[in-house]
Amino acid sequence: MAANGATGGGNRKDPILDLAKYIDQEVRVKFHGGREVTGSLKGYDQLVNLVLDDCVEFVRDPNDEYRLTDETRRVGLVVCRGTSVMLISPVDGTAEIPNPFLQEG
């Protein structure tokens, strides 16, 4: 037996996330670096590489890279590399609320 507990042979690795319930549903994906997109999840693999269709990217504020504007752009079919994905969330059942910690002034 190997030192890491693997016995060799046909061990099947399960994916980290089970995204099967989100296939053909709208999801929002946030990436390292601040980009965000929404699109219909068409496929994924065990490394969390994603295929999104009818994708829309949210444009960031040029003066503040962490703030999104109301401006969007359509990007169509997108393949997202799993190593750059930070967050995946369903669009249905979520609502945007104002940031209670942001001080206007």
| pLDDT (0 to 100) of residue 2 | 47
Tens-level pLDDT at each residue, the chain (105 residues): 445 555 555 666 666 678 999 999 999 999 998 889 999 999 999 889 999 999 999 988 888 777 788 889 999 999 999 999 999 999 987 777 888 888 776
Q: Would you say 83 and 96 are in contact if contact means Cβ atoms under 8 Å apart? A: no
In whole angstroms, give the CA distance from residue 91 to residue 25.
8
Q: Would you say 78 and 39 are in contact if contact means Cβ atoms under 8 Å apart? A: yes
- Boundaries of every domain in the chain: 20-90
The reported pTM is: 0.71
- The answer as to CATH 2.30.30.100 being correct for domain 20-90 is yes
Six token digits for residue 80 = 């997202």
